[in-house]
Structure 1
């Protein structure tokens, strides 16, 4: 299925708040205030979007929206921060080149970053009629694990996937591992977070235990939340389009036929893909929007021009070369090629 056909169906139906919006790049830096608070540099490189109050500690006691003077996200009410690892290409000579990010369909002009979704039902359910409770100030979570290197282990995270883009509108099929052949229009990394909250904790030690998947079925099939996590929340989803086209020459790929892409934390399987979220919506703007019939542009929210999104930046806190051909990944993590070859 292609995005343009999905968009047409969505626009033809009355929806209750299916948010799809762009957030341009805020910074690319070795900072991770959830896993490595206070540590500069963090072990691996991240690409970060959202409010410019982003920093190495992100004290949950502070008013994040109030701290930010701009946001890279389309809606001014959203100063949340969203981040993932960074994708690199590994050449036959062992050097690395950072893969650029291109805007998603409908967001031309955006400088890097991601597409963000908040949904009450699965993306194919255009009515979006389920009631959800919006995240609260201080809320934060992670999905995925950089230490995951096998297909079996990756099944703990149900919807952390990749799409090999045949053209910019491609959305299926999705795989848990990196595509094993050149993708004509790039690789989309998809991150979908769990949708059931325990209703008590804004965070937990591993940033995951306060969230759960449906007790049976899936979010898309409207499976019920488990008794331990009874509160349905919006499904948060990221799409990052990695522009791998310049690396599609088979003669540049490894001689053994394995795929050449590697996450910034050293994973060549793709199974370690993960995403981080730190809530930062103003007041009750997200809850109001989830309760209001709208699609993309919502009367409850203020849309800023793409040019203004692009202007919002945060300087690298740790200065290092991330743009040229590099002899090693930033932070020099161990590259997991041996797992990629075995699994």
Structure 2
């Protein structure tokens, strides 16, 4: 990949200090565990003073990822109660954040609530819930200490699986690079709900990252090398909501964070396949598919319209929502075989909104800067030099089981191709959706992706959702384009 040339901005101590102070306290809410000054001054008080308190989050088993074989008639009840589990965690995190009871008391209540909800899920599936009982227990997971002590398991989020591994800011291949002083955070404050990240060590100067992107495999004789591009714009702010119709259909605020939407204009918690077919679209070619992802916010201390709402400021998602500069939606081929048409209403999620507490097995989104696309990050936000834009790239699963448009955990019906392009046994290649979004982030302003409150706005939790609502004619046009090796749009 040819690297473009940009003027390299100088990431001075001032920039580091701004990242530390704003990233940790941008919502006017976080206490930081060390002075935000890049000079390491320990003096002062208030939110920039040393705090003798633990920092961490609530870690719970992700029940939804463990489900398989949910009877169709049980799906609505199961989905509703999975969303209730998320509500319970968010409420428990809020209570801890606002010091409403001891951590032991909050966790005890949370685990009791989860036990009852898991029993309801088990009953809906035709059992007594006993096989889910072991997933009731949540725990307090320490992330860092104010004294700068050791990190918990999630103090160093696991590296992602994408593009040959992560490259962090120490300029060395492999391994994670933690930030310096001022990087620790405390989930809570005297005055509000935010204060749940990001932290200073969630950011890295992209100019200090070594290239880490592997070259794609050479296409074989039967490979499909074309690309079908669809222009759907960058999203209408009026359509933003904190629902997730794939994971929590029929449940308002099922995502606990705000999404941007392009394509279909009728996506909310209560949409169904008929709703999507009857909806309008922002796509120039008439594609009624829905593409949606968490918004990115500048950590600038300013209030958005949702500052006092669920999904927004009430759940720690604060700061100015950044409208994307661009969103490129491409469908690509497979180096080993021709692709087959996606079924209508196929649902795919790439990335994992709970990867910080649940592990990185499904983490897949990557962050970079324009001009530096040969270096991709999954567990760091990039600090881009002057003239360079922040990029988010989502590579979707490109193998389908040939039968199902969804699955109980929303993953088993699709799969990633191996490095050589081969699909798992029983799966077939479909057009691979690749969505690249760019942002012009204000200078010296940290940013963060929206997320569940207990995920601390970590970059590894980024994710993207897609429901195929292309007409058969448009899907066949895309498949023909890709299989014939053309570039169409």
Distance 1:52 1:280 in 2: 12
Secondary structure at 2:356's aligned position in 1?
coil
* Aligned residue in 2 for 1:29: 241
| RMSD of equivalent CA atoms | 2.9
Aligned to 1:302: none
Select the structure that is richer in helix.
Answer: 2
1:275 aligns with 2:452: no
For structure 2, which runs of at least 5 residues remain unmatched after alignment?
5-223, 303-315
Q: Distance in 1 between matches of 2:385 and 2:429?
A: 36
SS at match of 2:459: coil
1:261 aligns with 2:448: yes
Give the match for residue 307 of structure 2.
Answer: none
Residue 319 of structure 2 is matched in structure 1 by 96
Q: Following the alignment from structure 1 to structure 2, what is the Cα–Cα distance between the partners of residues 3 and 81?
A: 32
Q: Pairwise mapping of residues 45-64 of structure 1 onto structure 2 (< 5 A)?
A: 45-60=258-273, 62=274, 64=276
- SS class of match (2:297): strand
Q: Quick one: which of 342, 349, 369 aligns to 1:135?
A: 342
Alignment partner of 1:40: what SS?
A: coil
- Find the residue that maps to 1:35 and give its secondary structure: coil
What are the Cα deviations for residues 218-251 of structure 1, in whole angstroms up to 9, with x where unaligned?
2xx32x2111x4211111111111221x1x32xx
> Is there any run of 5+ residues in structure 1 with no aligned partner, and where?
5-14, 104-113, 123-128, 254-259, 298-343
- For residue 423 of structure 2, what is the aligned residue in structure 1? 225
- CA deviation after TM superposition for structure 1 residue 36, in Å: 2.0
**Distance change (3 Å), C-alpha of 1:23 and 1:178:** farther
- After superposition, the Cα gap between the structure-2 partners of 1:49 and 1:201, relative to the gap in structure 1 and judged at 3 Å, is same
- Quick one: distance in 2 between partners of 1:99 and 1:273? 15
TM, length-normalised to structure 1: 0.64
Cα 1:39–1:183 change in 2 (3 A) is farther
Question: How does 1:275-314 map onto structure 2 within 5 Å?
Answer: 275-292=464-481, 293=484, 294-297=486-489
Please, which of 278, 294, 319 is the counterpart of residue 85 of structure 1? 294
1:234 to 413, 418, 431: 431
What is the CA distance between 1:56 and its match in structure 2?
2.3
- Say if 1:3 and 1:235 are closer, same or farther in 2 by CA, change over 3 A: farther
Which residue of the partner structure matches residue 282 of structure 2? 72
Contact 2:451 2:457 in 1 (8 A): no
SS in 1 for 2:266: coil
Instruction: Output the CA distance in 2 between the equivalents of 1:2 and 1:72.
Output: 32
Whether the 8 Å CA contact 2:332–2:432 is kept in 1: the answer is yes
TM-score, normalised with respect to structure 2: 0.46
The separation in 2 between residues aligned to 1:98 and 1:3, in whole angstroms, is: 29
Of 362, 385, 401 in structure 2, the residue corresponding to residue 156 of structure 1 is 362
Partner of 2:145: none
1:18 to 223, 227, 232: 227
| 1:174 paired to 2:350 | no
Aligned to 1:40: 252
User: C-alpha separation between the residues in 1 aligned to 2:452 and 2:275?
Assistant: 31
Tell me, in whole angstroms, the C-alpha distance in 2 between the residues paired with 1:179 and 1:280.
Answer: 32
Q: Which protein is bigger by CA-based radius of gyration?
A: 2
Alpha-carbon distance in 2 for matches of 1:174, 1:96: 25
Q: Deviation per CA, 1:54-88, whole angstroms, max 9, x where unpaired?
A: 3322323x2733x12x3111312x10001000111
Q: Deviations over 1:130-154 (max 9, x none)?
A: 311121122112122111117x933
The Cα of 1:186 is off from its aligned counterpart by 2.2
Report the 3-state secondary structure (helix = DSSP H, G, I; strand = E; otherwise coil) of the residue aligned with 1:175. coil
Distance 1:54 1:29, change over 3 A: same
User: What SS is found at the alignment partner of 1:19?
Assistant: strand
Taking a change above 3 Å as real, the CA distance of residues 180 and 79 of structure 1, as seen in their structure-2 partners, is closer
The secondary structure found in structure 1 opposite 2:292 is strand
Query: Judging changes above 3 Å, is the alpha-carbon distance between structure 1 residues 265 and 187 closer, same or farther for their aligned structure 2 residues?
Result: farther
Question: Deviation per CA, 1:321-340, whole angstroms, max 9, x where unpaired?
Answer: xxxxxxxxxxxxxxxxxxxx
Higher RCO (Cα < 8 Å, 6 or more apart): 1
CA distance in 2, matches of 1:72, 1:117: 15
